[in-house]
Structure 1
Amino acid sequence: MSRLTNDRHAQDVAALRTELAGLAVGVKLIRLECVLSRKYRADQPRAPAGQSDGGRWLPEGTGGGSQAQSQTEDAVLEDGSRVLSIRIRAQPHTDWDEQHTVTGPDGTRTVFETSGLTQTIRDGDSNEILARNLLTQDGAEPEAFVQLARGRPRPSDELARRFPKTLEAAESLFSVLSGRNTSDRKAIFAAPASEYIPGDAYNDPAMWVGAVGQTELDQLCPRNREVQAIADAVAAGVKASGNYFGGQDFGNKVHAGIAGVINARKDPNLVAETSFDATTGTDAKYGARGSIRLDVLERSQPSTVCVYDHKAGNAYLRGPRSVDIATVVQRRYPGALRYILIQIEPMV
């Protein structure tokens, strides 16, 4: 068999595998539509407060058996964005599949469908696939998929056109999912660390937003437990001292204490309170007007940087600006290809 024939055979096999993967996702979406077709009841019971899933809607058929289970959560952000989250699974004790529909303040809808570590991003109005990405230990990586429609823009072109809106939707989803963090699952936002300039060509649209377990988090950001331990110890010390005035002052002292511990180590791969002037790109002092600041940066590998945002008191992450994050990452670690955003809440 000639080399050309072998190459064509390999391409045909790859195309068939991709189509099968797409069909598998399609089957799960059909199941999801069946669940959503049932009327949603306002009196559906919630899990009791104090449990890991406290406050969430209890699934239908929780008594066991083969009936599909579903959970629904709805959230509205301060800017008017809305995130409707649906989680389903065919059997108890199996993994959940998730669908998050994000409606922006201008009405633009973007859908994030997650099955395992594969995430499909769709235009919420046309249902066209914009991207399909796989979360790996290196971050989000694009996956090929079969696009059966003819005469339409390529998905990569459509995603490039919609990239600013898709990015905003991902930010909103991350903000909501971060508020649902538990001790064993945390939301992350994996995105490319490049300049996001509207209208410019965009060559690497891979992004991924969702909750991961501790095993995946350790692979992505090996020092996350260390950062969490520092945050816990500093927050406990500030609380025990009683030397603070209200939640904001408590948060400020926790931030300063964490930065002091981390920067005292003089580890170039783990730095805190990194600030740059948004206009000039030069180093800036903490809190300087017009500056861009990130709490903690961990260079987990030459191409990936983990960005930790600390939550203290009643504060929560408010729509992180990916342009600013990417700018700081690029300034501090030139050559970084991607960043992974994580919210850390001190356990005190």
Structure 2
Amino acid sequence: MLGADTGWSSLDEGWNEDGSIFEQTVTDGEGTTIQSEYAASRAAGFDERQTVIDRDGSKTSFETTGNVQSIYVGGPDGDLVGRTIWTPSGPEPDATVQPAFAPLVAAPTIVTGGAVLFGWMSPLNGSDGQQAVMGFNAREYQLGDGTTGKFDLSYSGRITEEQAELACRRLPEVQELAGRAVNAAGSPELYPSRTLYGTGVHSYFKNYVEDRKDPYFRAERSLLKEQEEGVYRESVPYGYPQSIRTDAYEYRRDGTLCVYDLKTGKAGLTDRRADMLANAARFGFETLRRIIVIEVRPN
């Protein structure tokens, strides 16, 4: 079953009395829990379901069956706010259902739940042939919605490595470059702090990516969090106010942007950073349909 060694601990696990569903509950020790259910057969109506319960009691459920994921606000019996099909190109909205419109006040809850789930799953990347991903799709314009062009979380879960590499074709290369960067940086004991060690690894990683000289595969590019008059998307300087920096990205002409978040410590991707990465990207590229975030940890 899914698990991690970065601060999460198991509270309870076991099978239902009829043997139909395996259940597991984990906590971060700070008030956030994840309740997981894994079905032994399709009779349950899903393959697996994770319900993230935040510290304030809000619940978001991510229910996956095959390549389809449904997101519910308020837990598994709450409102269906999105259903997504994972395709070879990445997440696509399921046009066969009409989910309830997720009010803007619920959007932070969805992103927070998705980021918590993503952070719990990511440390296992590659260990069992699967990869944790977060997918964002462009929101279609709706009357009264003043955030036209915003990207909403549409998927948070695990897919096979083959599926991940179809959608983000540079993933194997990014993982290899991350490993090279760690080897070049040397032991963390050589640095005064883990922060400086991480900076060293990122510096080597950036150089390796930039050596490719591919305009669609870049490292440490800054993106504006909001549009600013007189600042052009291709020329946002490093450390510019109201900007956020990507560790690396891969852009495809079909409108897919793969964002690679390189981690060298235990801290994972926060919900705030995930949301900013997704929505800052709309100011940095001409055409975007979807964004896929993948956490990369060197072997």
Same structural fold, with TM-score higher than 0.5 when normalized by the shorter chain = yes
**1:139 aligned onto 2:90:** yes
Shift in CA distance, 290/236, structure 1 to aligned 2, threshold 3 Å: same
Write 1 or 2 for the structure with the bigger share of strand.
2
Unaligned stretches of 5+ residues in structure 2:
none
What letter matches 2:255 in structure 1? S
Aligned residues: 282
Measure the CA separation in 2 of the matches of 1:134 and 1:159. 22
The residue aligned with 1:200 is 146
The residue aligned with 1:163 is 107
Residues 276-314 of structure 1: CA distance to partner in whole angstroms, max 9, x if unpaired? 354635544444554311100001443101000001033
What letter matches 1:178 in structure 2? S
User: Which of the numbers 123, 131, 142 marks the counterpart of 1:186?
Assistant: 131
The residue aligned with 2:53 is 103
Q: Per-residue deviation at 1:109?
A: 1.7
Any conservation in 2 of the 1:274–1:328 contact (CA below 8 Å)? no
Any conservation in 2 of the 1:272–1:297 contact (CA below 8 Å)? yes
Q: Per-residue deviation at 1:252?
A: 0.5
**1:337 aligned onto 2:289:** yes
Q: TM-score, normalised by structure 1?
A: 0.68
Residues 28-82 of structure 1: CA distance to partner in whole angstroms, max 9, x if unpaired? xxxxxxxxxxxxxxxxxx99x99xxx98977559xxxx9445141323386x5x2
**1:324 aligned onto 2:246:** no
Q: Per-residue deviation at 1:85?
A: 3.1
Q: Which stretch has the larger CA shift, 254-263 or 187-196?
A: 187-196
The residue aligned with 1:250 is 197
Q: Per-residue deviation at 1:345?
A: 0.2
User: Which of the numbers 37, 40, 60 marks the counterpart of 1:87?
Assistant: 37
The answer to which structure, 1 or 2, has the higher relative contact order (CA under 8 A, 6+ apart) is 2
Q: TM-score, normalised by structure 2?
A: 0.78
What letter matches 1:119 in structure 2? Q
**1:264 aligned onto 2:211:** yes
Measure the CA separation in 2 of the matches of 1:208 and 1:69. 23
Any conservation in 2 of the 1:275–1:328 contact (CA below 8 Å)? no
**1:228 aligned onto 2:175:** yes
Residues 163-204 of structure 1: CA distance to partner in whole angstroms, max 9, x if unpaired? 343233222322222244343222100102569999536698
Give the secondary structure class of the aligned counterpart of 1:155: coil
Q: How does 1:115-130 map to 2 (within 5 A)?
A: 115-124=65-74, 127-130=78-81
The residue aligned with 1:303 is 255
What letter matches 1:332 in structure 2? G
Residues 109-168 of structure 1: CA distance to partner in whole angstroms, max 9, x if unpaired? 22111112111112326523222211112222222456xxxxxxx734345663343233
Tell me which structure has the larger Cα radius of gyration: 1
Any conservation in 2 of the 1:293–1:328 contact (CA below 8 Å)? no
Give the secondary structure class of the aligned counterpart of 1:211: strand
Give the secondary structure class of the aligned counterpart of 2:186: helix
Unaligned stretches of 5+ residues in structure 1:
1-45, 147-153
What letter matches 1:192 in structure 2? N
Any conservation in 1 of the 2:34–2:117 contact (CA below 8 Å)? no
Measure the CA separation in 2 of the matches of 1:214 and 1:331. 30
Any conservation in 2 of the 1:222–1:300 contact (CA below 8 Å)? no
Q: Per-residue deviation at 1:229?
A: 0.0
Measure the CA separation in 1 of the matches of 2:152 and 2:283. 21
Any conservation in 1 of the 2:139–2:148 contact (CA below 8 Å)? no
Shift in CA distance, 77/272, structure 1 to aligned 2, threshold 3 Å: farther
Any conservation in 2 of the 1:97–1:114 contact (CA below 8 Å)? yes
Q: Which stretch has the larger CA shift, 168-177 or 111-120?
A: 168-177
The residue aligned with 1:315 is 267
Any conservation in 1 of the 2:13–2:25 contact (CA below 8 Å)? no
